[in-house]
């Protein structure tokens, strides 16, 4: 392992394994909680190759590493035999409210498989389209193989969720897959069709259940777990808790095989006997409940969900609705929730076209076409954060048009039958499995046309586009020199300002690692507004889980680190909201992170934000070209290689 020796030396000089209570990491440093900090050899660590500096603060012994801290952390955990960050950091700080915690868990479970989930749904949708158009025969081999490709993930969905959920809950992912595999084991699923039941439980009630087999004399209520969602999530939650407990009490010499064996022997029967049936009934009730609410007034439901979907996305609340939609499809065979959001991306695209035509800003014209194209294909972030939100009215008119489009979908009873793609790729998911291109499907066409045209007309005539540009972060009206006014080539680059606020020197920062320039040259800003904007186009190279720090690699190769506040990692994400993900391509002016300055300072943390070039050794000059009060999109750093 590349960092094995470094990890070994770090552990030795923090007082050894026995002196470490826990270790986690943030975007630049290892954060140890030591039993006795006096046992740590700070001087040796400060002079160690691979260590930038050492800082002791807030009850933590911090070893500053730099950008490659995740790799060093993995080596330290492996070398020391420590538990993962999720396990050792449960008691640190406040975790936010239950809604935020729930959304964070759901997001962590579904995000890893969402792209293949959508891809599978698209294949199923297009296969349905081919049947409806008469291009394929349901008995033919082509249809059967395409159906297997599209349906495979959905049928074995519990196995995929078993991996991601177990990982999210801090257990062994493959153990989650084994639990899920038992739930969808074909021989057990086929038992109810093989013969008459032994007897019936709860006869005459909503929960009437025929009993075909028993486990140690206890009746087993066999359910169909293929394509299910909730049973495996609940099962892995308890499995992870049990596994971690057993890992602490089982002797090391037999732990490797005894812990998973006992976890399976306890959790799998428990799931068949209790967890599975209860979770299945809960998922069915959830599906019927959401459909009941929808059927109370499909028009109101469509207007509300369609109109506010982009707002839900901004605040991360959409993760509370996505699993409900998936659950409805798997348990009921159809879903209205995710269907009602269909118009929002087209309405946004219509608004962007209006901006594109009306704007006098060359910069916005340049951004508009790729933003429009992304919106049509269901990727709304570039258009929403880069253009519509900064100009305000295009965003408002998009919400209004999406609400009207959602109401039309409700009127026609348009629902989804598979988990489809986004934008134009979602269309095939509306094809009825038996009726094909029915009236409800035609309603989706009308809804998209009305939503798109309305958003265009409202934005074109009432968007106050050029007036809004004067106050918008996209163009930021000012007499100061803009980064685009300074000639750039491969040997030079200008980094604009990501925050509104007051320029400070790095030496004004209380954190020695930043103040000394050890983490890179740059500047600091005392923010006056809690919005961090992309100061340059590039790729998000790092986004720490607490959303307090972000790294961007620019198109010319500069590695930029922006760290909101000092020691704000201790807030564990509270008061921070990210609008991008690691790996995203971002454009100058795009909103990256929102944060609550007042609440952060009320909690006792300084919001001064260092902006540094972490690969400054590649540049002959990293010059701060701003002073005093500054606004976003004004030049901040001038780099010359």
Q: Point out the residues that are catalytic.
A: 26, 563
Q: How far apart are the C-alpha atoms of 36 and 10, rounded to whole Å?
A: 15
User: Token digits for 487?
Assistant: 């000639």
User: Token digits for 316?
Assistant: 């991360």
Q: How far apart are the C-alpha atoms of 93 and 26, rounded to whole Å?
A: 14
31, β-bridge pairs: 24, 62
Q: How far out from the chain centre does Cα 226 lie?
A: 26
C-beta of residue 310 within 8 angstroms of C-beta of residue 349? no
Helices 393-412 and 344-358 pack at an angle, to 10 degrees, of 150
504-521 in b/e form (b: 16+ CB < 10 A) is: bebeebebebbbeebbbb
Instruction: Evaluate the CA torsion angle 466, 469, 475, 478 in order and state its sign.
Output: positive
Q: How far apart are the C-alpha atoms of 263 and 478, rounded to whole Å?
A: 63
Give residue for tokens 């209004």: 400
C-beta of residue 327 within 8 angstroms of C-beta of residue 286? yes
- Pairing label, strands 521-527, 559-563: unpaired
Instruction: Evaluate the CA torsion angle 318, 440, 431, 424 in order and state its sign.
Output: negative
Residue 246 CA: distances (Å) to CA of 18, 163, 169, 474, 564: 21, 19, 15, 55, 39
Number of other CB atoms surrounding residue 45 within 10 Å: 20
Pick from 283, 400, 412, 420: which is nearest to 338 by CA?
A: 420
- Pairing label, strands 531-533, 538-543: unpaired
Radius of gyration (C-alpha) of the chain in whole angstroms: 28
C-beta of residue 613 within 8 angstroms of C-beta of residue 637? yes
C-beta of residue 518 within 8 angstroms of C-beta of residue 507? no
Burial-class residue 67 by CB neighbours within 10 Å (0-12, 13-18, 19+).
Answer: middle
Q: How far apart are the C-alpha atoms of 35 and 23, rounded to whole Å?
A: 12
């Amino acid at each position: 392992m590349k960092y094995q020796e470094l990890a070994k030396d770090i552990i030795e000089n923090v007082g050894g394994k026995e002196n470490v209570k826990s270790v986690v990491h943030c975007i630049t440093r290892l954060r140890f909680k030591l039993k006795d900090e006096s046992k740590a050899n700070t001087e040796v660590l400060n002079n160690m190759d691979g260590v930038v500096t050492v800082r002791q603060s807030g009850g933590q012994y911090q070893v500053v590493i730099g950008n490659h801290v995740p790799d060093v952390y993995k080596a330290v955990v492996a070398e020391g035999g420590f538990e993962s960050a999720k396990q050792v950091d449960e008691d640190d700080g406040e975790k936010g409210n239950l809604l935020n915690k729930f959304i964070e868990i759901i997001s962590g479970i579904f995000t890893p498989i969402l792209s293949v989930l959508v891809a599978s749904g698209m294949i199923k949708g297009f296969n349905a389209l081919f049947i409806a158009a008469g291009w394929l025969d349901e008995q033919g081999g082509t249809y059967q193989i395409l159906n297997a490709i599209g349906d495979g993930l959905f049928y074995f969905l519990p196995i995929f969720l078993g991996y991601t959920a177990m990982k999210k809950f801090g257990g062994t992912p493959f153990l989650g897959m084994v639990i899920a595999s038992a739930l969808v084991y074909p021989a057990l699923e086929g038992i109810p069709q093989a013969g008459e039941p032994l007897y019936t439980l709860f006869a005459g009630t909503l929960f009437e259940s025929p009993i075909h087999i028993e486990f140690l004399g206890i009746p087993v209520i066999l359910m169909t777990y293929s394509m299910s969602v909730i049973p495996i999530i609940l099962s892995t939650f308890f499995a992870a808790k049990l596994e971690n407990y057993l890992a602490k009490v089982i002797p090391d010499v037999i732990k490797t095989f005894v812990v998973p064996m006992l976890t399976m022997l306890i959790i799998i029967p428990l799931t068949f006997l209790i967890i599975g049936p209860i979770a299945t009934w809960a998922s069915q009730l959830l599906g019927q409940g959401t459909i009941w609410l929808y059927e109370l007034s499909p028009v109101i439901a469509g207007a509300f969900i369609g109109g506010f979907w982009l707002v839900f996305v901004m605040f991360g609340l959409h993760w509370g609705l996505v699993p409900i939609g998936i659950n409805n499809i798997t348990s009921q065979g159809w879903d209205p929730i995710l269907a009602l959001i269909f118009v929002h991306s087209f309405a946004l695209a219509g608004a962007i076209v209006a901006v594109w035509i009306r704007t006098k800003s060359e910069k916005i014209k340049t951004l508009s076409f790729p933003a429009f194209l992304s919106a049509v294909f269901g990727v709304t972030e570039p258009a929403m954060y880069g253009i519509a939100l900064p100009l305000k009215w295009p965003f408002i008119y998009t919400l209004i048009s999406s609400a009207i489009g959602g109401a039309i979908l409700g009127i026609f009873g348009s629902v989804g039958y598979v988990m489809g793609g986004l934008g134009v790729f979602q269309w095939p998911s509306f094809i009825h499995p038996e009726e094909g291109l029915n009236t409800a499907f035609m309603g989706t066409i009308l809804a998209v046309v009305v939503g798109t045209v309305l958003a265009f007309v409202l934005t074109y005539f009432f968007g106050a586009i050029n007036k809004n540009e004067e106050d918008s972060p996209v163009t930021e009206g000012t007499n100061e020199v803009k980064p685009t006014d300074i000639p750039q080539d491969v040997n030079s680059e200008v980094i604009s300002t990501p925050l509104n606020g007051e320029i400070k020197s790095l030496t004004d920062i209380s954190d020695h690692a930043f103040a000394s320039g050890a983490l890179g040259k740059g500047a600091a800003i005392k923010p006056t507004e809690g919005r961090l904007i992309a100061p340059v186009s590039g790729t998000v190279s790092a986004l720490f889980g607490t959303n307090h720090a972000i790294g961007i690699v620019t198109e010319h190769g500069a590695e930029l680190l922006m760290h909101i506040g000092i020691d704000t990692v201790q807030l564990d994400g509270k008061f921070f909201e990210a609008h991008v993900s690691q790996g995203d391509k971002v454009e100058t002016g795009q909103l990256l992170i929102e944060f609550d300055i007042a609440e952060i300072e009320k909690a006792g943390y300084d919001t001064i934000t260092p902006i540094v070039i972490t690969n400054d050794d590649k540049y002959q000059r990293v010059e701060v070209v701003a002073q005093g009060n500054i606004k976003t999109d004004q030049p901040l750093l001038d780099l010359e290689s």
